[in-house]
């Protein structure tokens, strides 16, 4: 396994790692690294020991969304948490933001780290990427957890249909250049209006410091643009997923949604169409942001599912 490159921490990241590690920073469980993968300078946080677990965040978040889950998982697992290409402290994708292309970048990171098999967790857009990863590299994924999203090609299109009660933001984000123009200089206002920092249940899920850590990168124009780029190929992602689904996933799959979220049964219905061995569960008193609203419950469900 090649030695990862240590990256310089800003004050907020250094504070976060010390809190995650429960130390003064001298003996650290979690450390920041970067790796050059497929033309992307990919930033990731890594720590713990044991069987590897990879956690993929969604929009508009970064690796930081998993901060409350990581310490518990690290007691039994090696935890790898990347910033998706273009987001957080990772550089933009050098190819495309189609989910198969992003999945390949994450797979190359896992391969570079020397892990022949992982457990994989994806939330929101990270869940779309996690499915593409598992479908294209099934031997590399032992167990798969998918949380709070609709799968392109198998339910997402209905969720995008505003005329039938679907969410308006998909079409807005897919429009070329328009969302970048209209949100420039108003990133906090827009992300707040989108509910990024407003949990449906746990009112203590986000501190002001948490919000500022997300805004540290999302206030940069290239980060908002990259976020919107993840939405623009969703219809093509659906076409690719329908092709992938001709061979169903055989590894155990767990779908998780929040009782107060909007995803509901549509996630399970979509995954049933592409996988053979599916379990489902609901995290009570949680909305979309499971890892931040109910981190202890989520961590225990992951540990139980990932048990040998």
Instruction: Determine which one of 173, 210, 231, 237 is catalytic.
Output: 231
Instruction: Determine which one of 124, 214, 218, 237 is catalytic.
Output: 124
Q: Which two tokens stand for residue 54?
A: 């990879």
CA dist 103 and 101 (Å) reads 5
Close Cβ partners of 105 (under 8 Å, ≥ 6 residues apart): 37, 38, 40, 42, 85, 93
Instruction: Determine which one of 43, 57, 123, 288 is catalytic.
Output: 288
State yes or no: is 124 an active-site residue.
yes
DSSP per-residue string spanning 67-96: TTTHHHHHTTEEEEEEPPTTSTTSPPPSS-
CA dist 126 and 34 (Å) reads 19
State yes or no: is 288 an active-site residue.
yes
CA dist 16 and 76 (Å) reads 21
* Of 30, 58, 43, nearest in space to 105 by CA: 43
State yes or no: is 173 an active-site residue.
no
Which residues are catalytic, by number? 124, 231, 288
């Amino acid at each position: 396994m090649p030695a990862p490159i240590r990256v310089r921490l800003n004050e907020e990241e250094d504070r976060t790692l010390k809190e995650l590690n429960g130390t003064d920073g001298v003996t650290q469980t979690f450390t920041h690294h970067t790796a050059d993968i497929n033309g992307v300078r990919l930033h990731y946080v890594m720590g713990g020991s044991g069987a590897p677990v990879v956690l993929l965040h969604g929009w508009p978040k970064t690796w930081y969304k998993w901060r409350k889950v990581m310490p518990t998982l690290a007691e039994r697992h090696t935890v790898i948490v990347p910033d998706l290409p273009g987001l957080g402290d990772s550089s933009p994708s050098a190819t495309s933001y189609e989910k198969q292309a992003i999945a390949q970048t994450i797979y190359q990171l896992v391969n570079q780290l020397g892990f022949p098999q992982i457990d994989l967790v994806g939330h929101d857009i990270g869940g779309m990427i996690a499915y593409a990863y598992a479908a294209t590299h099934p031997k590399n994924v032992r167990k798969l957890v998918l949380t709070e999203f609709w799968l392109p090609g198998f339910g997402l299109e209905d969720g995008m249909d505003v005329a039938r009660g679907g969410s308006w933001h998909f079409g807005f984000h897919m429009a070329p250049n328009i969302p970048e123009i209209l949100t420039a200089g108003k990133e906090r206002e827009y992300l707040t209006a989108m509910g990024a920092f407003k949990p449906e249940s746990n009112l203590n899920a986000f501190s002001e410091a948490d919000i500022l850590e997300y805004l540290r990168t999302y206030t940069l124009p290239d980060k908002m643009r990259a976020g919107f780029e993840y939405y623009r190929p969703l219809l093509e992602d659906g076409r690719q997923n329908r092709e992938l689904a001709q061979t169903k996933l055989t590894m155990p799959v767990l779908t998780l949604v929040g009782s107060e979220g909007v995803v509901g049964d549509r996630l399970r219905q979509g995954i049933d169409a592409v996988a053979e061995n599916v379990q489902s569960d609901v995290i009570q008193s949680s909305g979309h942001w499971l890892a931040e609203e109910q981190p202890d419950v989520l961590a225990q469900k992951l540990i139980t599912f990932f048990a040998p």
